[in-house]
């Protein structure tokens, strides 16, 4: 069976760096930090007081009050990004066969705010009044509701489900969408991810694991991947969506093509529930599998958007894995962690970072890894590699690889390349 080719024809995003994909991308290229004091709740008793929240967001700018009350924040972000991506793709839905359009959406946690609110309410009133749960509690909380709601809004009858693999969730969604289309199971898929976990349970839980930075006196410089003084990641929130489409269908309708999806890889560390393997074994395997799937050699890649969360073990193991897979070509690559600006969007990270990878290929520019200070080095990281510190770099990007690794040892990788007929 000859596999079909798959291209990216639309993008949408709402992130700590912008409420649209273009605004997000422009601030990413400029090296803007999305970190600031948390506004969603009072952090005075928490170890970490800051995060990368979506800015200037008002639900009623996008939904009527009745709609907004029925949706968790992560679902709202999902729909906003999906609406933008579908519009950007130029798909004329009045002419499309909606049986051939699907939705695959990655979510790491889901409606944690809804769960928290309902549980706290029961704790306060349950003993006196009995259970008084909202009838929308379960639909607002479950991880698959974003995929379901997008399909309901547009009448898409194609494959529809959620992927959950912690921080690799939305890269898994993109990989699945890619495979479904190239196997002929769909013509186009709305693929992406969302997360909105900057609430007491989210921040408190990650604080208890010592996973978050506590640089409360300097939030904008707290996420510093590959720097020696890094002390943990910053939580982010938002959504990223890509429209993946079968090439023949895209060409027939004259679609703008941002890039072609070349290959995907998946692996497991099988090592620890939260820590990556110190030798980067799973990371090496997932990148090699993506290269093999794409029929590419290491030297065909020009840019890697790394997982790079700004944790001690994670950054070291990923840098080592890149050297092991790419050999001498590791020194010719550009590498960057855009989490230094967006924070870690958890289940949405892979889709947002895949969007950055697509735009790097489309515009021939590599976004930076911000917040590195000369001399703030980790002796276990090879700084002869180009981590694109502090300033975006123009270069031809023939192909880009995007890594995401999740708690539980889940690893997912996707490769995009310049489109050529």
What does the CA dihedral 185, 190, 192, 194 come to, rounded to 10 degrees?
-130
**Alpha carbons 389 and 372: distance in angstroms, whole number:** 6
Catalytic member of 49, 113, 167, 277: 167
> Hey, how many other C-beta atoms are within 10 angstroms of the C-beta on 421?
6
**Alpha carbons 324 and 337: distance in angstroms, whole number:** 19
Which DSSP state fits 364?
Answer: T
167 part of the active site: yes
User: How many angstroms separate the Cα of 171 from the Cα of each of 127, 262, 402?
Assistant: 43, 14, 8
Q: Are 309 and 339 in contact (CB under 8 A)?
A: yes
10 Å CB burial of residue 417 (0-12, 13-18, 19+) is buried
Q: Are 396 and 250 in contact (CB under 8 A)?
A: no
Side-chain half-sphere CA neighbours of 359 within 13 A: 23
Looking at the DSSP assignment, which residues form a beta bridge with residue 37? Answer: 50
307 part of the active site: yes
413 part of the active site: no
**Alpha carbons 267 and 154: distance in angstroms, whole number:** 33
Helices (H), 295-348: 312-326, 339-342
**Alpha carbons 289 and 264: distance in angstroms, whole number:** 7
> Hey, how many other C-beta atoms are within 10 angstroms of the C-beta on 419?
17
Residues 6+ apart with CB under 8 A from 118: 133, 134, 137, 141
**Closest listed residue to residue 156, CA positions, set 123, 190, 122:** 190
**Alpha carbons 140 and 75: distance in angstroms, whole number:** 8
For residue 76, give the 3-state DSSP assignment. Answer: helix
Backbone angles phi, psi at 214, to 5 degrees: -115, 25
Catalytic member of 49, 221, 277, 307: 307
Catalytic member of 344, 372, 410, 413: 344
Helices (H), 50-101: 65-69, 73-89
Cα 334 from chain centroid (whole Å) = 19
Catalytic residues: 167, 307, 344
């Amino acid at each position: 069976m000859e596999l079909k080719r798959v291209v990216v024809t639309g993008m949408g995003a709402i992130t700590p760096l912008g409420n649209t994909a273009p605004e997000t991308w422009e601030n990413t290229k400029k090296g803007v930090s999305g970190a600031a004091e948390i506004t969603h709740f009072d952090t005075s008793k928490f170890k970490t007081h800051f995060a990368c929240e979506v800015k200037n967001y008002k639900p009623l700018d996008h939904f009527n009050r009745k709609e907004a009350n029925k949706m968790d924040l992560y679902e709202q972000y999902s729909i906003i990004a999906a609406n933008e991506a579908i519009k950007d793709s130029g798909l004329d839905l009045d002419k499309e066969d909606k049986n051939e359009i699907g939705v695959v959406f990655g979510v790491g946690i889901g409606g944690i705010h809804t769960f928290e609110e309902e549980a706290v309410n029961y704790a306060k009133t349950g003993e006196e009044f009995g259970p008084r749960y909202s009838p929308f509690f379960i639909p607002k909380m479950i991880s698959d509701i974003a995929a379901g709601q997008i399909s309901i809004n547009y009448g898409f009858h194609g494959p529809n489900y959620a992927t959950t693999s912690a921080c690799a969730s939305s890269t898994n969604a993109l990989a699945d969408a890619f495979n479904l289309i190239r196997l002929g199971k769909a013509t186009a898929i709305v693929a992406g991810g969302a997360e909105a976990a900057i609430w007491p349970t989210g921040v408190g839980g990650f604080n208890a694991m010592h996973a978050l930075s506590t640089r409360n006196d300097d939030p904008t410089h707290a996420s510093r991947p590959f720097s020696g003084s890094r002390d943990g990641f910053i939580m982010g929130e938002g959504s990223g969506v890509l429209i993946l489409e079968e090439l023949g269908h895209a060409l027939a309708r004259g679609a703008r093509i941002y890039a072609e999806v070349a290959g995907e890889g998946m692996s497991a560390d099988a090592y620890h529930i939260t820590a990556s393997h110190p030798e980067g074994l799973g990371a090496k395997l997932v990148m090699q599998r993506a290269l093999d799937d794409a029929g590419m050699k290491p030297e065909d890649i020009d840019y890697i958007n790394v997982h790079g969360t700004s944790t001690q073990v994670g950054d070291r193991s990923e840098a080592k894995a890149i050297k092991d897979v790419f050999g001498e070509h590791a020194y010719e690559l550009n590498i960057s962690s855009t989490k230094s600006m967006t924070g870690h969007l958890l289940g949405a990270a892979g889709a947002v970072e895949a969007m950055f990878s697509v735009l790097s290929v489309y515009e021939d520019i590599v976004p930076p890894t911000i917040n590195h200070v000369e001399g703030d080095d980790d002796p276990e990281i090879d700084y002869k590699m180009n981590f694109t510190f502090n300033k975006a770099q123009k270069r031809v990007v023939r192909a880009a690889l995007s890594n995401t690794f999740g708690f539980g040892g889940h690893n997912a990788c996707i490769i995009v390349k310049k489109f050529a007929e």
